[in-house]
Structure 1
Amino acid sequence: MGIDATAFVHPLAVVDPGAVIGAGARIGPFCVVGAEVVLGARVELKSHVVVGGATEIGEDTVVFPFASLGQAPQDLKYRGEASRLVIGARNRIREYVTMNPGTEGGGLVTRIGNNCLFMASAHVAHDCQIGDRVILVNSVAVAGHCVIEEDVIVGGLSGVHQFVRIGRGAIIGALTMVTADVIPHGLVQGPRGALEGLNLVGLKRRGAGKPEIAELRELYAALGEGNFRDAARRLSDAGGAGPMAREVLDFILGPSDRSFLTPR
């Protein structure tokens, strides 16, 4: 417990004695680390970073100047209940990023996966669940209770409405407002976001073959412009869907009170 003997803490940093600082961690000048913070092995706080609350940061994560992690949620219903922010391993958290812990109304934990990149001024609100290898570009704002699955990219200056789910492998264009759920591997863009097709570039980069992509294209066309859940239920009952198509159908039929972004 406490500060590992191999960790480096700059003399101009303020680290509460209750904090746990892992092996090889580095805390730069003018950082402030609170009493309930746990930093994993080789975590680096560059300078002027504030980490408060019950915040855990996984190994090899680097946090750049002026990021603020674990401060009280921006939710008027929050009454100081004990909640957590859990950040995975090997993340890059750039300048002025803010991440808040959970609330009683959302499960009391905000969770960030591994190998993510949060560019300057991105915000992750209370009770969000962010998967692995997610990229939030500059000034993206993710509201409370959102779920962003693995391998999602959200373009700069975009906003994600509270309680929205974004499925695995989706891509959101810059300057987009996402107000409803996005199917896995979907491509969304426009000031008021609409589903414009599939993230074909992302699918190819992740090794999807021509048969899988062709099946996803057929599924996308079959979903049409009407009620996604009704169409997905019919397609699911028909059977025969491959793994990637099955993933999209399961996502659509999963628990959510929100509608879906559909083609224009």
Structure 2
Amino acid sequence: MSDRETTLPAVGLGTMGLDGEPGVESVHTALDVGYRHLDTAQIYDNEEVVGRGLAESGVSREDVVVATKVWADKLGYDDVLSSTTESLERLQIDYADLLYVHRPIDAYDPERTLAAFDELVDAGRVRHVGVSNFSLSELDEARDLLGAPLFAHQTELHPLFYEPELVSHAQEHGYHLVAYSPLAAGKVFDLPELTEVAEKHDTDEASVSIAWLAGKENVVTIPKASGEDHIRANLAAADLELDDEDVAKIESVEREEELFPE
């Protein structure tokens, strides 16, 4: 395993829903155009697809951050160890750069679950530990219990569901906030506040939402895309520079809609 320092690019590829040969091609395309962070999960049932896309891409394994997540029914100590081994086999990799607790529910036991994650780090099967869909109190508990530093918290974040306290916590404690569903399942296109900002910059609402997130300290985002045009556009959105007025306009959205409540 390389001893290089892991960094998370501003935009990675979310892969939920990518499957079959088209999914392999999407992963391959994303890597070809410059993505270096692939995000999957056991519950997505596509780790094999992501692994094939990486293996067939010609991009060096060492240059790509590969992240997956242990689902809620596999969070017992022994199940974390065995299911992660199975994930690595499906992904065709010797180690994961980032392994998440997918949700702190079901079999999640903070002490035993996180001890298993630390064991995987010590064994060299995982480089970094992350958690997903955690509350502030659950984040603090995990940080206290983990031997390894908390590297990332993945959570739903978009203009219709913005929790600034989670962003502040990541900034204060020096870990990454990985924002999923940044386009709110396409609902960003219906927000006049984002349309106004998009027209100002001669772009679209998706690019505005991605740029808004990627422009925050310690925040990266992982929009899902399958077609080459959207894959390229999402990556390029990180280069869009928004001013304070733009940010205020986006954060003035009052309607709230969480897509993936527990």
TM-score (norm 2): 0.26
Structure with the higher fraction of residues in helix conformation: 2
Q: Which has the higher strand share?
A: 1
Q: State the TM-score, normalizing by the size of structure 1.
A: 0.26
Larger RCO, structure (CA 8 Å, separation 6 or more):
2
Query: Could you say which structure has the larger radius of gyration?
Result: 1
